[in-house]
A and B are shown apart, each in its own frame.
Chain A
Amino acid sequence: MTDLSAQDAPFAGSSGSALVRRRNRKQVIVQGLGLAAISFAALMLFILIASLVSTGYKAFTQTHITVEVFVDPDEVSVEKLPRGGFREVLLASLQKEFPEVTERAELRSLQNIFSNGAQFALRDMVAADHSLVGQTVTLTVPVSDPFDQLAKDLVKRETPEAQRRVNDREIGWFDALDAAGKISQPVNWGLITNADSRFPELAGLKGALVGSFWALLVCFLISFPLGIGAAIYLEEFAPKNRWSDLIEVNINNLAAVPSVVFGLLALAVFIGWFGMPRSAPIVGGMTLALMTMPTIIIATRAALKAVPPSIREAALGVGASKHQVVFGHVLPLAMPGILTGTIIGLAQALGETAPLLLIGMNAFITSAPSSPFDSATALPTQIFIWADSPERGFVSRTSAAILVLLTFLITMNAVAIYLRSKFERKW
């Protein structure tokens, strides 16, 4: 075996081996380039996720302060609850801890440890149970944004005092409270149970989640039946002539129209002509449906085309009419493909921002919509709003909101992949 000369081995001719070597080298280069491209893409994805997680993870907890509040009957009376002196009552609970603070300006900065929402939380408690007036209640409320930043080490203590948002004195108070075990950092459920707020420590995604849900529901209810109907007609029933060709080309073009154009169209038609409400998920859903429909039509047509002709012939052969063939055989077999396309179309719609900005779904709305006709934001527009807000606390919240949006997108795509692999049929 060691003595394999060129004559003995017919595949090892001298000119041939150079050719083979060159060919093999090209093969290696092509594979290497492919691998490099994939690695680059994976690296970019990793950097994206890593940067989001590293800024966003801090928004998944929220610093809270626990205080014993004496609901002073002199300040708070059941008769005039909305105007009760809840701020004063709260401040009094802190004053107990720091009796040396008496000056007005200092008292105000002491008050600022509480989130602005703390007084409303206390008010709601008392409103729910009037007997609390005159008693001492234990209250756990978010601290305001600068102290939250301090607790999360986003405001550095080494920074010179003049450039810091909390002064040395405030840090002293905070550390004293922390040492007394009054500061805690639980999971920030407010991020998904609160609606938007001016104060980062209170701002949450509930309004955006519910708004996105309504918009997607409207989008699905419009684009799914219309898209499938159009695709079935074009693929199965329409005569093949110049008109159907024209329609086909235009549908493909429609899928490539920039989404901001659909937003302008919706603004002019839905809001301008039809007088539909601004910022409402119903209009958002209708706008997104305009964009999703071409995607669904194209996916449905591809799925219908993929059903083998032998199934149509089989059904026609036993005397099924055209619509029995389509609805009894072809459509059920195409359904997994159609659903996959629809979910991917909806996932695209979920992430769409530009058309929603144009119809006003980037408004500042502090309550979640209870119907598709109420004003609302959507996840991507909420991200847009938060990214634009100057408060430091919104930086990590923006990243957290992006992570929430990405979670939904990945979930939807995973469902699409699952459906495809589960129902994929080998013919």
Chain B
Amino acid sequence: MYDTPTLERTVDNSTVKFSARDVHVFYGETEAIKGVDVDILDKTVTAFIGPSGCGKSTFLRCLNRMNDTIDICRVTGKITLDGADIYDKRIDPVQLRAKVGMVFQKPNPFPKSIYDNVAYGPRIHGLARTKADLDVIVEKSLRRAALWTEAKDRLNEPGTGLSGGQQQRLCIARAVATGPEVLLMDEPCSALDPIATAQVEELIDELRQSYSVVIVTHSMQQAARVSQKTAFFHLGDLVEFGETGQIFTNPKDPRTESYITGRIG
């Protein structure tokens, strides 16, 4: 079941990036997240696993305040990024999202050129003063996303013309271009074929050198392959959070065990 030896991996940084305390999320009257406490470390891949509708995506979207765009959604509790409360009134969610990049389930490049897709974020945040600066950012981001060699000769072609896996890496390049500290990935491989999935997973492992990565996934194998920390969500509760190896080999909670052995979910 596990094709990489997860046990040998160690979490090599203990700086806390995100810290959530008693987070509740309500959609109207429905409570989707029921009091989650979690610390997400820097330079670490943290996987959120759990059955459909367990709230893992909802919680992920709290971390860059994407839930703000849903009218009926209400978040209580406290989430800090580097010690600062991201739900503080003085925090601009737009600025927050530049620091906390997001990659979505379905590759969603803008219907513009590859170059413009990557350059969009730096442009709106004023990160590049000259065209040359912007060129540098675009190249760096595409290299980060392991797309440079494939895309460098077709920067002016539409991003929507790439293959699914390339599109998803383009979306990663786009997220990386604004210079974020955290990358949130909402099931980034669920729309990709196995080869593209392998490429993206490899990329996630590289991205860990520079970013704190949080990934929501349906695939437990994927969580085991790419993450160092795993959080198991069930019906809006964070059931268990710990080292990936420990969660998969020696879960403490019976619900976790049932899920990873395939009895619930």
Q: Which residues of A does B touch, CB under 8 Å?
A: 239-240, 308, 310-321, 324, 328-329, 333, 425
Query: Which one of B66, B71, B103, B110 lies within 8 Å of A239 (CB-CB)?
Result: B71
How many angstroms from the CA of A316 to the CA of B97 in the assembled complex? 7
Question: What are 28 inter-chain pairs, A to B, with CB distance below 8 A?
Answer: A308-B108, A310-B104, A310-B106, A310-B108, A313-B102, A314-B104, A314-B110, A314-B171, A314-B174, A315-B120, A316-B66, A317-B66, A317-B97, A317-B102, A317-B175, A318-B97, A318-B101, A318-B121, A318-B174, A318-B175, A318-B177, A319-B98, A319-B125, A319-B178, A320-B94, A320-B120, A320-B124, A324-B124
Choice from A312, A318, A333 contacting B98 with Cβ under 8 Å: A318
A54 shortest CB reach to chain B, Å? 49
Identity of the chain B residue whose Cβ is nearest the Cβ of A239 in the assembled complex:
B71
Per a CB cutoff under 8 Å, which of B69, B71, B111, B178 touches A318? B178
Contacts of A317 in B (CB 8 A): 64, 66, 97, 101-104, 175
A309 to chain B, nearest CB (A): 9
Q: Does B13 count as interface, using CB distance less than 8 angstroms? A: no
Q: A310-B106, A313-B104, A318-B175 given. 11 additional CB < 8 A pairs?
A: A240-B71, A311-B111, A313-B108, A314-B171, A314-B174, A316-B66, A316-B97, A317-B64, A318-B98, A319-B178, A321-B94
Smallest distance from the beta carbon of A129 to chain B beta carbons, Å? 62
Write the chain A residue with the least CB distance to B97.
A319
CB distance from A136 to the nearest CB of B (A): 71
Secondary structure dominating the interface of A: helix
Q: What residues of chain B lie closer than 8 Å to A320, measured between beta carbons?
A: 94, 120, 124
- A333 in contact with B111 (CB, 8 Å): yes
Determine which residue in A239, A318, A321 has the highest number of CB atoms from chain B within 10 A of its CB, and name it: A318
Task: Give the docked Cα–Cα distance between A358 and B88 (Å).
Answer: 59
Shortest C-beta distance, B198 to chain A (Å), equals: 24
What CA separation (Å) do A255 and B109 show in the bound complex? 37
Most buried by B among A314, A329, A425: A314
A315 contacts across to B, CB distance below 8 A: 110, 120
Binary A-proximity of B145-164 (CB < 8 A = 1, otherwise 0): 00000000000000000000
Tell me the bound Cα distance from A124 to B95 in angstroms. Answer: 73
**Distance of A64 Cα from B76 Cα, bound (Å):** 87
Q: How far is the CB of B28 from chain A (nearest CB, A)?
A: 12
Is B125's CB under 8 angstroms from A314's CB? no
Q: Which of A239, A316, A319, A324 contacts B95 (CB 8 A)?
A: A319
Residues of B within 8 A of A319 (CB): 94-98, 121, 124-125, 178
Q: Which chain B residues lie closer than 8 Å to A314 at the CB level?
A: 104, 108-110, 171, 174
B69:A316 contact, CB within 8 angstroms: yes
A283 to chain B, nearest CB (A): 41
Closest to B102 in A: A317
The docked-state distance in angstroms from the alpha carbon of A313 to that of B66 is 8
A239 CA / B72 CA spacing, docked (Å): 11
A310 to B66, CA, bound (A): 12
> Which residues of A lie under 8 Å from residue B96 when comparing CB positions?
319
Complex-state Cα separation, A315 to B112, whole angstroms = 12
**How distant is B172 from chain A, measured CB to nearest CB, in Å?**
11
* Chain A nearest CB, measured from B55 CB (Å): 18
- The interface residues of chain B lying within 8 Å CB-to-CB of A329 are 110
| Chain A residues, Cβ within 8 Å of B106 | 310
Q: Which residues of A contact B95 (CB under 8 A)?
A: 319
Cα of A311 to Cα of B120 in the assembled complex, Å: 13
CB neighbours (8 Å) of A313 from chain B are 66, 102, 104, 108
**Complex Cα spacing A312 to B68, Å:** 13
Residues of A within 8 A of B120 (CB): 315, 318, 320
Please indicate which of the listed interface residues A312, A314, A319 has the most CB atoms of chain B within 10 Å of its own CB. Answer: A319
CB distance from A389 to the nearest CB of B (A): 55
For B104, give the chain A residue with the smallest CB separation.
A313
A320 to B95, alpha carbons, bound, how many Å?
Answer: 9
* Chain A residues whose C-beta falls within 8 Å of the C-beta of B110 in the assembled complex: 311, 314-315, 329
Q: How far is the CB of B24 from chain A (nearest CB, A)?
A: 23
Most chain B CB inside 10 Å of its own CB: which residue of A239, A315, A317:
A317
Chain B residues positioned under 8 Å from A239 (CB to CB): 71
4 nearest A-B pairs in the assembled complex, by CB-CB distance: A319-B98, A310-B108, A318-B121, A317-B102
A22 CB to nearest chain B CB (Å): 42
